[in-house]
Structure 1
Amino acid sequence: MIGDSKPILVELVSCPSLPRPGGQLGEMPFRADAWTPTEIRQLRQLFADDLPIGEIAKALGRGRGGVADRICLLGLRRHSFRSWTSIEDEDLVRRYGQDATATIAAELGRTCAAVYARAALLDLSEGNAPDWTPWEDAQLRAGFVAGISTAQIATIVGRTHSGLVSRASKLGLRHPNFSPGWSNAEIERVLALAEAGHRYAAIGQMLCAEGFVARTKSGVRGLMNRLGAGKGWGRFWSDEEDALLIRAYQTNASLTPLRQRLGRSGSSIRWRADYLGLRGTHGRTSGWRGGPDWTEADVARLREDYGKVPTAELARAMGRSKASIFTRANLLGLVHGFHRPWSDEECAALEIAFARGIAMADLAAALGRKQAAVHKYAANRGFRFGRRAKAVFVMSVADILKLGRQTGEEGEERSDGMNSAPEQETSR
């Protein structure tokens, strides 16, 4: 139980026992590790108290594998809130997608839904569905007999809804909700109840109380759709309701109070408005934006400062977010030109820094640019700096250019400032 909610079903019926062999059974030899009735009762009690299998094994003085095997043989299942252990995760990773989920859940003492949830968190993928086990077939048959929804049965046995329906069809099972065809008397009665304003679920209950076949809400809705008897839950629109809807569209009023007063759904109102050809105009020219409206003065300032002032600083000055600034600038077709172009000296410093083994961080600090911007500019021109040691002292652009001039005077490098550093960088 969880609070006052209904109990969570983990099993509809016990797995059918195997047929007992005929004739007289021979005497079995004594085993010191055999399970006694007292141990089995204690195991059931500890399992019902939601103790981990490891703690149960410690309390009983047995191995974890033996306790897990006995839990599986006894068919014990529970909706547990205890955390998954590393041993259980390893077992789940090893077996998931190969063994049936019901078998894994039985040996772990958990529900199929818990196994699926844990497998999803572990990013485990499932291949072809394994064969159905006798326990799963037993739950399927019992669920169809009891009239439980197929979606709930699929959750209990740990199968997809489509797979469960396919298995039921193969076993020749028919759910009681799939009732026989509609008679003329039933159709006339449904139309009369719908015209009186009753909901589909209530119509199904009324039909059952009057001696007709029990019908579900979806069954009644399907019949009404096939008959073309209107939208919503069967209540026709009156002239007064149409007048209120038309006035709401004419005055740009909210449809929420109208939906509450008329007891109509949002889809029903939209369908009726489309049927009447109503097209509303928006009461707010700026839409439903939560921030302040953009005035002509705001737009003029944005046109003047965008691309010249950093966006974060401009957003603080205008009392808006950066996203708002970017969005309005995009709507106005403004192009951000804040990133200054590279000068000839900066390009020369880039080539010298690459040739002299200067680190990217030192080059970015000397240029007064962000390291990501320098990295992108250098990569577009074929300069791959890689990992380099940072300099001990802070360098400037003049210091880097001086290294290039010294290299040209000594004649140790090529006249363009490039040396064998690219080859060394490639070999790294």
Structure 2
Amino acid sequence: MDFVEKNYGKLPTQQIADFLGRGIPAVRAMALKLGIGRTGAKAWSPAEIAIVKKYYSYGAGIVMVQTLLPHRDKESIRKQAAKAGVTDARDWHPDAIKFLKEHYGHMNVEDIATTLNKTVSAVRNRATVLKLGKVRLRKWTREENAILTSEYANSDNLNEIHALLPHRSRRAIATQATKLGLKRAEAWTSEELSILQQYYPALGRKVVAMLPGRTIGAIHHQAVKLGLRRYAKDS
């Protein structure tokens, strides 16, 4: 009891519990009994939260934070780190770090977070730790706009376009298409596909007359997808 009275609030509760061979709940209960405990956790100050954000994700993680905030136990630090969107460096797989380094600044932070199954705050904090700088989305090049313009209207599958522009997120592609006034093709109906499969080998692109609303480019694109080829004409 004397040790608790002298050290509670000065040493981490876990350290007191370990020294006395008691559990943390028992130590807290005794502190309350002695009138030195707290009935409720003290609200986190902006300075404390800043320490969590700065040091929790540096690798030393919770050990470093608890050294700087000895009056906070590990569990409360973990909870505050989660609220702040901060994750310990040990929670980041090397592949995730590599992906972040390659794509931060080229992809939207939201897309990176979704890909890595992280929060947006966690991604931004990790980028800060790695000194990746601010997100500066790369301007669309003429070549990229040309690919988007030629393919967007012919495909009803955004994944196909994304495969041609792998450094652009699906959201970025859709946004750029809107800026360019492009509209994606409607999905092919079973009737249209049947006509294409039946007549394309014989008519080639002339089948456009049988598919109102479809451009020659869209027809060719769909034929390639289906593995269709026009039969050679008889000599």
Quick check: TM above 0.5?
no
More contact order relative to length (CA 8 Å, sep ≥ 6)? 2
**Where is the helix percentage greater, Structure 1 or Structure 2?**
2
Question: Bigger radius of gyration, 1 or 2?
Answer: 1
- What's the TM-score, normalizing by structure 1? 0.23
